[in-house]
Each structure stands twice: as structure tokens, then as C-alpha cells.
Amino acid sequence: MPSLSQLNQFHSNPSISLAPHSTPKPSISLPCLLESSLKPIRKPLNSIHLPRQPLLPVRAKTSDDEWGPDKDEPVSGSAVAVALEPTEIQKLKKALVDSFYGTDRGLKATSETRAEIVELITQLEAKNPTPAPTEALTLLNGKWILAYTSFAGLFPLLSRGTLPLVKVEEISQTIDSQNFTVQNSVQFAGPLATTSISTNAKFEVRSPQRVQIKFDEGIIGTPQLTDSIEIPENVEFLGQNIDLTPFKGILNSVQDTASNVAKTISSQPPLKFPITNSNAQSWLLTTYLDEELRISRSDGGSVFVLIKEGSSLLSS
């Protein structure tokens, strides 16, 4: 019979199995078992199989849309304004209007300035976007302001030597393409009143560029008297400089009377008179036309450059 010490040795040795004919197994301690369980599993990536999941689109979230724009729409930042370069015609028009500065509608233009204006006009006429103006009457329709002319017949009117205290405020031509009428108007301004002189005419289309004009009526507008009298320090008349300072006291003394007269005269209708002269007609050739600029030539060869009322060219 085994002794007690031999039994203790038997139970303390885990490598000894009680099963009959069992093969001894290597001993594994508890610390070794824990260490092996904590080691990472090292396998090649191609040997790891993950479950296949559908791919979800990634979308940018904005304040307006919970999910933002679609993935096929580009996400743009702030809008960038692209300034368009002016066309060659726009550059020519701007250069032409700039060349009018200081010429007083052509009255004070020097020979060099006139030559420059003629060159710019020729270039614009070569690029005319409306080769048949009489077939585009909607473009002709409206009020046109005279910016420049070579017509010498207007120069005495523009010169202050003829009427020292009166200046020409505006010269315009208004075309009514539906009724085939033309009204030429000149507005005057003086120290006491403003008024206008106009002529009404009918026109007929004679070619794609040419119209025949026949004047039939003149109109003297009702003077609009001013409440306050404005008089310059001096005026030039017939080559002499006249001092008007002594007359200021006289004019100021009648200011109240002028104000009362203004109310009476301004209520009167304009004065109209017929034009019966059979020679009161002319033709006009439009050589350039767009939405804001018109160049015309008269039967005498004079050139007229007019700008449509409301155009930004008038403030250039």
C-alpha cells in the first residue's frame, strides 16, 4: 500500500492522469493560458473575411438642406460675378461721346477734334448693327437728344452772342414711328423764364436708310417764368463784355411782379402756327442705329449724333 507522501505527490502532479492507458499531456500553467489569450490574432489581410455592406453616399450638410446638395452637384462657395469685357462697338461709342466734351454740341470743336470725331463716326458706321433702320422703326421710336452736329445752321442758335441772356438747354428730336411724325424741339433758359420752340413734321420711308421729312407746323411753348431772377455778372455781346451788375437792383425790384405774371402766362396754351412753305422739307439718312445711339446725315452733308433719352451715354 502506498504511503501518505506518495499520495500527496500523486495529486500535486497534474501530468499524471487517473485514466487507464492515457497518454500524458504537456503541462500548461494558468499564467501561460492567460498570456496566450491576450495576444492579438495575426493573420494576413487577405485571409480576413468581413461581411459585405452597401456603400452609403457621403453628403455635405448645409443650413438649407439637412443632407446638402446631391453628390453629383458641385458644392460652390460664394457667387463670383464675371465682368464682361466691353465690345469694340461699345468702346467706339464711349470714345465718341468722350470726344464731345467741351465742344458745346460741335460749336466750339477744334479742327483736330472734328477730325477725331469724323474718324470715330466712320468706324461706327462700318459696324452698323442695323443696316436697314427704316425697317426697324421700333428702334427709331422715342426721344433723341442731340449730342453733336456739324450743321452750321445751328451754330448761331447755340452761340450766346445772338441772345446774351438766353442759353440752349436741350435740342431733341422725338420720333413717333406709329404715326410717322417727327418733332424737333429746342429748349431755352433765361434769367426770367424757360420756353421752347418746336416744329412738327411727317416723314415717309424712301429707302432702307432714308426718310423724307416735310414740316407742317411750328409751336412756341408757353414760357415758364421763374419765381427768382438770376442774372450773370457780365455777358459778351457783339464782341464786347457788358457788365450787368447795375441792372441787378432793377431786376430784383420787379421780382414780385414777375412771380405774379408767371402764374398768368404759364396757364396759357402754346402758340401754334402752320408752315406753308413748299420748300420746308428735307431728307434724313440714318447711317448708324442701336438702342441708345443714332448717327444721321442730312441732305446738306451735315452729321448729327443723337443719344436716346435715358441712356447712360448722356452722363458720360
How far is 124 from 133, CA to CA, in rounded Å?
Answer: 15
Distances (CA, A) of 5 to 1, 2, 12, 59, 276: 12, 8, 11, 77, 159
Amino acid at 311: S
Cβ neighbours of residue 264 closer than 8 Å, sequence gap 6 or more: none
In the predicted model, is pLDDT for residue 49 greater than 90? no
pLDDT at 29: 47
Cβ neighbours of residue 121 closer than 8 Å, sequence gap 6 or more: 96, 288, 295, 303, 305
Amino acid at 235: V
How far is 152 from 154, CA to CA, in rounded Å?
Answer: 5
How far is 20 from 42, CA to CA, in rounded Å?
Answer: 39
pLDDT at 28: 47
Reported as a single tens digit per residue, the pLDDT across 189-223 is 877 778 899 999 999 999 999 999 999 999 998 88
- pLDDT band of 11, cuts 50, 70, 90: very low
Domain residues of the chain, as ranges?
A: 88-222+271-310, 224-268
pLDDT at 243: 72
Assigned architecture for domain 88-222+271-310: Beta Barrel (2.40)
pLDDT at 255: 59
Mean pLDDT (whole number) for 100-104: 95
CB atoms within 10 A of CB 297: 20
Reported as a single tens digit per residue, the pLDDT across 133-155 is 999 999 999 999 999 999 988 88
Distances (CA, A) of 4 to 11, 14, 15, 41, 305: 11, 18, 19, 46, 137
How far is 143 from 126, CA to CA, in rounded Å?
Answer: 25
Mean pLDDT (whole number) for 100-117: 95
In the predicted model, is pLDDT for residue 54 greater than 80? no
- pLDDT band of 257, cuts 50, 70, 90: low
Largest CA distance in the chain: 166
Mean pLDDT (whole number) for 35-42: 47
Amino acid at 65: D
Percentage of the residues of the chain whose pLDDT score is greater than 70 = 60
Mean pLDDT (whole number) for 249-275: 71
Sign of CA dihedral 46, 47, 52, 56: negative
Q: Pick from 210, 185, 213: which is nearest to 201 by CA? A: 213
In the predicted model, is pLDDT for residue 16 greater than 70? no
Chain mean pLDDT for the chain: 76
